[in-house]
């Protein structure tokens, strides 16, 4: 550690020394405030530019002035400031003492603290040392305050001259992120970033991980020395029965106070259970981190699913509204044809029935839009604006996932946070078996104790006792009615249960990876097929409309063609969104979702 003094102390030590070099003459002391200066007395004559090493004493009619070393240091500093003020006033400048008082007052007004000479004038040579030091110190304090306000504790420590590491307070939960801009289209990446900070489940997982990290210092503390102090103070009222020499029964009452103070230290030397307890604490922290990673991966899949459901609901509403506009046109045309005598009542009723059904579907679609947007708002904990649309033409859905199915299964078995969390639980249970078996082993502790007591013996109430002991204590378990054996069997059964759960999880994980991988690869093929079907549905609708105009097809055929086209467009939008959702879920199951992955997936959306 560096032996550096604090800057404030260095400044306070050096300032009186510098000022004392210029102190001359004698007189009454003056204060830093605006008190009237004492009458000036004769000052020693010194050559300009050649300060004398020792001022000459000056005699008066009454008595000689005291030597300069007999004058208190504070009085010499105040007198020197008054002398400087006199010299400054002669040059029609503001006194330095006034500048000092005004600058101290400006601390509370927020103004600048720096000493400055009046405009057009410079500080005299006798003012520069003091002013420069005061300016440097004020700038130093301003930089320190700025560092503290900016929470730059390292910079503040450097300005204060502190060495060593600076402890920064670690918040338990991260601060909320900036609000989403409602005027810009939100991509999946924007929603994911906001949810990573504001989602309650992920915040709870972070708090749980921090709580689990405290298990390790708690386990270490069990192996550290344990120091205890106890004290007691009692008022005793003792009644004793006895027999005197004359064989007479006597009853003696005695009242006195007793006290006891004990200081004890216990240091575990051999405790096999503590070794397993430390290993368990480490595994608890690993499990909490795996759970946090699992929640992070699940949040990505949840955000993707909710985001894509909101887009699908919007697309379905747009399709229903487009179909409604078409049906209104048909109803109006058939109504005019009926009025002109060329249409039929059956055609009008058929078109009206389809329009009424469409209005009910519109209400359902609007409810789905409101519900999905509400789910997104819950994830990010704030209102959301419009969402970016899927780039249907330029999106390469099959390129969202690289590698074969076996590669993804291997990656999931290695990096899945679900598997890692269960493996950490299995390790804890195995350590629990070792800790249970340690119940058969002896323990060795180092014990030291100092005890002082007064009047604790009723036979001799005035006795005082001081006892000091140091030694080793050994505890050997002999019989506990099978308790340790039962604990060992219970822990072994828990290990077996967790092993089976881990194997079941691995098998189920392989099935889920297979499903999501096929959802991406075969989903892209399904999208291509539905795109062809959508073009065919448009052609069929156009043909049915022209055939009805030519009298070959009826209105029912046109309405059926329109219904089929709407269904194909709905299936196409759903297939696209399912492919993107499967890609996110696949990578979340493998435990590889991060900033880069979400950026690449968000690239398929456009404002």
Residue 176 has a pLDDT of 45
Min mean pLDDT across 103-112, 132-141, 261-270, 441-450 is at: 103-112
Can you give the pLDDT at residue 280? 92
Locate the DSSP E strands across 409-455: 443-454
The chain-wide mean pLDDT, for the chain, equals 77
| Range of weakest confidence among 72-76, 177-181, 455-459, 574-578 | 177-181
Cα within 13 Å of Cα(556), Cβ side: 4
pLDDT one-digit tens code per residue, 66-81? 565 567 666 766 676 6
Per-residue burial over 4-37, b = 16 or more CB atoms within 10 Å of its CB, e = otherwise:
eeebeeeeeeebeeebeeebbbbbebbeeeeeeb
Per-residue pLDDT band at 524 (split at 50, 70, 90): confident
Measuring CA to CA, which residue among 402, 386, 322 is closest to residue 605?
386
> With pLDDT > 70 as the criterion, what percentage of the chain qualifies?
70
Exposed, middle or buried by CB within 10 Å (0-12, 13-18, 19+), for 543? Answer: middle
What whole-number percentage of the chain has pLDDT above 90? 33
CATH number of 188-230+259-478+490-606: 1.20.1600.10
Tell me if 156 sits within 8 A of 191, measured CB to CB. Answer: no
Label residue 121 by pLDDT band (50, 70, 90): low
Kindly report the number of other CB atoms within 10 A of residue 485's CB atom: 14
pTM of the model: 0.62
Report which of residues 396 and 230 the model is more confident about: 230
pLDDT tens digits for range 463-485: 888 999 999 999 999 988 999 99
Give yes or no for a contact between 502 and 419, defined as CB atoms under 8 angstroms apart: yes
| pLDDT recorded at residue 114 | 44
Q: What is the pLDDT of residues 542-592, one digit of tens each?
A: 898 888 888 778 888 888 888 888 889 999 989 989 999 999 999 999 999
* Distance (Å, whole) CA 574 – CA 552: 34
**Are the beta carbons of 458 and 242 closer than 8 angstroms?**
no
Least confident range of 45-59, 90-104, 175-189, 450-464: 45-59
pLDDT value at 492 more than 90: yes
- The more confident residue out of 64 and 379 is 379
What confidence tens digit (pLDDT) does each residue in 254-282 have? 888 889 999 999 999 999 999 999 999 99
Of 25-39, 235-249, 357-371, 555-569, the poorest mean pLDDT is in 25-39
Residue boundaries of the structural domains of the chain: 7-160, 188-230+259-478+490-606
Is residue 373's pLDDT more than 50?
yes
Mention every residue, 6+ apart, whose C-beta is less than 8 A from residue 158: none
Q: Which of 181-190, 299-308, 509-518 has the lowest mean pLDDT?
A: 181-190
- Is it the case that residue 350 has pLDDT exceeding 50? yes
Half-sphere exposure of 552 (CA within 13 A, CB side): 6
Do 44 and 55 meet the contact criterion of CB atoms below 8 Å apart? Answer: yes
Largest CA distance in the chain: 146
HSE, CB side, 13 Å, CA atoms: give it for residue 207.
9
pLDDT in tens, 85-99: 555 455 444 555 555
Nearest by Cα to 445 from 474, 469, 468: 474
H runs (alpha helix) in 341-416:
345-380, 405-415
| Residue 327 confidence (pLDDT) above 80 | yes
């Amino acid at each position: 550690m560096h032996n550096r003094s604090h800057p404030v102390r260095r400044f306070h030590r050096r300032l009186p020394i510098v000022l004392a070099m210029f102190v001359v003459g004698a007189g009454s002391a003056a204060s830093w405030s605006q008190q009237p200066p004492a009458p000036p007395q004769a000052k020693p004559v010194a050559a300009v530019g050649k300060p004398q090493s020792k001022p000459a004493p000056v005699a008066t009619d009454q008595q000689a002035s005291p030597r300069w070393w007999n004058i208190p240091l504070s009085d010499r500093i105040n007198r020197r400031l008054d002398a400087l003020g006199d010299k400054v006033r002669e040059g029609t400048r503001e006194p330095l003492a006034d500048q000092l008082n005004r600058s101290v007052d400006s601390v509370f007004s927020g103004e600048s603290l720096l000493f400055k000479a009046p405009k057009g004038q410079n500080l005299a040579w006798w003012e520069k040392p003091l002013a420069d030091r005061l300016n440097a110190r004020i700038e130093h304090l301003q930089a320190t305050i700025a560092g503290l306000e900016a929470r730059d504790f390292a910079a503040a420590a450097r300005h204060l001259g502190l060495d060593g590491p600076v402890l920064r307070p670690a918040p338990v939960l991260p601060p909320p992120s900036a609000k989403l801009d409602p005027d810009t289209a939100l991509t999946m990446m924007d929603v994911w970033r906001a949810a990573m900070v504001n989602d309650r489940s992920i915040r709870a997982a972070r708090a749980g991980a921090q709580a689990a990290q405290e298990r390790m210092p708690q386990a270490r503390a069990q192996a550290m020395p344990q120091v205890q102090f106890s004290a007691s103070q009692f008022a005793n009222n003792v009644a004793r029965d006895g027999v005197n020499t004359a064989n007479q029964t006597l009853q003696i009452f005695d009242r006195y106070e007793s006290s006891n103070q004990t200081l004890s230290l216990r240091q575990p030397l051999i405790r096999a259970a503590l070794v397993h307890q430390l290993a368990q604490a480490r595994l608890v922290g690993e499990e909490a981190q795996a759970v946090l990673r699992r929640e992070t991966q699940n949040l990505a899949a949840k955000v993707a699913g909710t985001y894509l459901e909101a887009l699908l609901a919007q697309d379905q509403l747009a399709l229903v509204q487009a179909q409604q506009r078409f049906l209104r046109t048909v109803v109006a045309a058939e109504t005019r044809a009926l009025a002109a005598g060329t249409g039929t009542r059956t055609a009008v009723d058929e078109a009206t029935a389809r329009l009424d059904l469409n209005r009910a579907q519109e209400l359902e679609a609007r409810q789905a839009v409101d519900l999905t947007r509400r789910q997104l708002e819950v994830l990010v904990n704030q209102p959301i604006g419009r969402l970016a649309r899927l780039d249907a033409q330029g999106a390469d859905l099959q390129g969202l996932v690289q590698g074969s199915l076996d590669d993804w299964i291997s990656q999931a078995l290695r990096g899945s946070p679900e598997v890692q969390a269960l493996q950490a639980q299995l390790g804890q249970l195995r350590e629990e078996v070792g800790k249970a078996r340690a119940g058969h082993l002896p323990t060795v502790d180092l014990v030291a104790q100092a005890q002082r007591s007064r009047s604790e013996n009723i036979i001799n109430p005035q006795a005082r006792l001081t006892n000091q002991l140091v030694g080793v204590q050994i505890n050997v378990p002999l019989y506990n009615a099978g308790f340790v054996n039962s604990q060992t069997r219970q822990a072994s059964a828990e290990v077996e249960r967790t092993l089976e759960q881990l194997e079941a999880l691995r098998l189920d994980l392989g099935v889920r990876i297979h499903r999501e991988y096929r959802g991406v690869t075969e989903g892209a093929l399904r999208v291509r097929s539905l795109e062809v079907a959508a073009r065919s549905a448009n052609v069929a609708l156009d043909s049915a409309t022209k055939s009805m105009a030519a009298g070959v097809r009826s209105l029912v055929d046109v309405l059926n063609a329109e219904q089929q086209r709407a269904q194909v467009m709905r299936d196409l939008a759903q297939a696209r969104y399912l492919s993107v959702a499967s890609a996110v879920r696949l990578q979340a199951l493998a435990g590889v979702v991060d900033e880069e992955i979400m950026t690449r997936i968000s690239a398929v959306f456009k404002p």
